[in-house]
Structure 1
Amino acid sequence: MLKTNPLLENRSKLFTLTIFAVIGILAIPVILPHIFHKFQVFHILLHLSGIGLAAFLSIVSVIAYARVRTRRLLFTMLAFSIFVASETLSLVDAAWQYTYYLGVFSAGEIGHFLSLCTLGMFAISVFRRD
């Protein structure tokens, strides 16, 4: 039987820990260089909150998938995990515009493609009959 951690059972503590971890890890390299740019810092904070929420939902969906093990939860878990990657690339594009490319594609374009993949995974998990 799966032994659970009390931290993983309390969703509010897990949410708080996830948000503080994301902000703590990304505050100095991402927020600090742009702190005096009026609207760009708000755009960056928007993507940071998206990463935090997506990371929290990824953790919760991993816990749910470990308990139930259905394909619907697998696709939901993958969707939230892909959304973390999508928001991370969107954050990179917001903080350092036109700097990082994968071949001919910018980080923003790859982030949009991953957002589309997220929607596809959610569609599969909703319309799947398990």
Structure 2
Amino acid sequence: MVYRMEIYVDGGCRGNGRPGSIGAAAAVFKFRSGGHTAWTRRLESGSDPAPTNQRAEITAIIIALQEALNKYHSLDSYPWLDMKIYSDSKYAIGCMNEWIYKWSNNGWINSQGYEVAYRDLIQKASDLDDRLKEEGDVRYI
């Protein structure tokens, strides 16, 4: 048996990294019946580090992965998971599809020799992704 999940994510930030910036992230689960459910998170100004568009996009993926794990573990059985996460962020998709593996192997140092930006969030997303991939396929589109 296969359990399919389709999740759409997006994030954005007004003021992008400047003082007073406000970010938001969202994940929407699409049901086969045509319905949906959504989760959102606000990224507060005054936090350290300040909200940015990239932080919001990766936070949206984290929300999706956390909620997918919750949903999967609430099922009566443990079917093979077939999950697709759709994002309009080339950066977030690149992080999840290829760069996390390179960065992890390089001690979270990028190709220019600097610590990976947004490492805190990317590592969290990577850990959640690993847990879900134990249950099946997770694809970022």
* Short-chain TM bin: 0.3 to 0.5
Structure number with the bigger relative contact order (C-alpha 8 A, sep ≥ 6) is: 2
- Higher Cα radius of gyration: 1
Q: TM-score, normalised by structure 1?
A: 0.33
